[in-house]
A = this chain, B = another copy of it.
Amino acid sequence: MLNRVRSAVAHLVSSSGTSSQRPKSPDLPNATTLLPAAPETPKSPPARSGSEVCAPPKTAETRASFSRPTFLQLSPGGLRRADDHAGRAVQSPPDTGRRLPWSTGYAEVINAGKSRHNEDQACCEVVCVESRRSVTGASREPSCNQGLCFYYWGLFDGHAGGGAAEVASRLLHRHIREQLKDLVEILQDPLPPPLCLPATPGTPGLSDPSHLVSPQSCWSPQKEVTHESLVIGAIENAFQIMDEQMARERRGHQVEGGCCALVVVYLLGKMYVANAGDSRAIIVRNGEIIPMSREFTPETERQRLQLLGFLKPELLGSEFTHLEFPRRVQPKELGQRMLYRDQNMTGWAYKKIELEDLRFPLVCGEGKKARVMATIGVTRGLGDHNLRVCSSTLPIKPFLSCFPEVRVYDLTQYEHCPDDVLVLGTDGLWDVTNDCEVAATVDRVLSAYEPNDPSRYTALAQALVLGARGIPRDRGWRLPNNKLGSGDDISVFVIPLGGPGSSYS
């Protein structure tokens, strides 16, 4: 089993040289070692994000082609077909060869011309975590026998360029592994995690657990911290470190743009679903829908954004107000009373319009048109370190958060049948469908296949992508109800929770 894991990881890891400052780990390459010479230049900034001050130079070095997830095993010809905005062929891993872990289904389609290439990326891996060092300080020879494995699925929805999504799809699971390395022994110990550990992991110590900080001093009146919350903390910090790495390396390696990240880690019986952005995860179990994420947008995070603008008005320059108005205030309305919301309010009230209220609201618009600083429509994710307000030098990054919300689903608490699945989709899917329609598709497609047919999950992912893309009619990709399908990139994972491919080990 562990050999399988190691070989699954090995093909992704390239050279071990790294300029990364933190964390210093030979396993963590910088963006250069994973990306082609120079990242692609977006044809135009996508609708939901603003201008990039440091756009990559359009030199001869600019990469001519784009890359897709390695598990699609695309030939050069296949890559060209996947890159065709007119044909919009649905891509899935080939039927032949090794399946994805758990017989996971996957499908994707490129956008209808919104950006030069598909800015979604995906990753599906089995990752082995070796203990960095005994928690007691004793140095050990690395051995997978003392390690842990986690299964990993990630969807990365890029904007303003594909660089951030590509880097995240190649590195984020490694940062998670790095964070878990210190926890290997602790997570395998049924006792609650110790509050204190000796100095750094590299410090020589003794393996006798009695040399841990004395229980008397650490374990008296205190909070009990669970193993689960340690895994959540590891994933949260991995997101932050990934974002910091993008910030450090963005100039040298042109990690342009930003990306939403929706990630699933299966470890020791539990699924950890971490979401930073507007992708979505739902479990469909016996027809019931269990939301496993929520979307982070200017609307859902209005109060966090407004509070930050209120506490740090320098972030708003002289151009924005932290107050929300239902629309832009006009100079002729000075002195009149208009509806507004402050950061502490969920309701609306009237206020007399003053000169400062003529500034643009920090948060404006509704639904898919909601924007932070009139620029970006998502409020969490990775990258975007160069993002500026249009026609301004005001940075938007301080308002964006790289931290995911992590929800946990304990697989051991339920009996699952082969039709129970976890569906992950980028907003291209959810913009034109909803949880109930997806659950209906799950039922319709899976019931058409034998329960033990492992190809049924890819068929389901394809059906979901096709259903959201629509078919070309007149001048648009239309759905059966003649509504416009999604013109966005669409990527979908279907993870069976009780299928024959599930090993849950």
Contacts and interface: CB of A to CB of B under 8 A. Distances in A.
A398 to B, nearest CB: 10
A347 B196 contact: no
Given A350-B182, A406-B347, A326 B195 contact: yes
B193 A339 contact: yes
A346 B273 CA distance: 13
A209 to B, nearest CB: 15
Contacts of A182: 350
B406 A346 contact: yes
Contact of A336 (B197, B237, B347, B403): B197
A333 B366 contact: no
Given A234-B347, A327-B220, A401-B344, A337 B229 contact: no
A170 B223 CA distance: 40
Contact of A225 (B199, B348, B352): B348
A229 B324 CA distance: 14
A235 B349 CA distance: 10
A213 interface: yes
Nearest to A223: B326
A348 B234 CA distance: 8
A205 to B, nearest CB: 11
A221 interface: yes
Interface string A202-232: 0000000000010001101111110011111
Interface in A330-359: 330, 332-333, 335-339, 341, 344-350, 352
A251 interface: no
Contact of A349 (B220, B233, B330, B366): B233
Size class of A's contact patch? 35 or more
Contacts of A236: 344-347, 349
Interface string A228-265: 11111111110010000000000000000000000000
A198 B336 contact: yes
Contacts of A339: 193, 195-196, 225
Given A197-B350, A352-B200, A344 B229 contact: no
Contacts of A403: 344-345
A60 interface: no
Nearest to A403: B344
A312 interface: yes
Given A222-B326, A223-B366, A335 B229 contact: no
Given A197-B336, A199-B337, A336-B196, A347 B233 contact: yes
Given A222-B326, A349-B179, A341 B233 contact: yes
A308 interface: yes
Contact of A347 (B235, B308, B333, B337): B235
A351 B350 CA distance: 47
A311 interface: yes
A326 B44 CA distance: 49
Contacts of A224: 326
Nearest to A364: B223
A361 to B, nearest CB: 11
Interface centre among A182, A327, A335 (most CB of B within 10 A): A327
B347 A231 contact: yes
A195 B348 CA distance: 10
A233 B346 CA distance: 7
Q: Which 3 A-B pairs have the closest CB atoms?
A: A232-B347, A233-B347, A233-B349
Given A197-B337, A346-B405, 19 more contacts: A195-B326, A195-B339, A197-B338, A198-B336, A198-B337, A199-B352, A213-B333, A217-B333, A218-B327, A221-B327, A222-B327, A225-B348, A230-B347, A230-B348, A232-B347, A233-B349, A235-B347, A311-B311, A344-B403
Interface of A: 179, 182, 193, 195-200, 213, 217-218, 220-225, 228-237, 240, 307-308, 311-312, 326-327, 330, 332-333, 335-339, 341, 344-350, 352, 366, 401, 403, 405-406
10 contacts: A195-B339, A197-B350, A199-B337, A230-B347, A232-B348, A233-B345, A233-B349, A311-B311, A346-B406, A347-B406
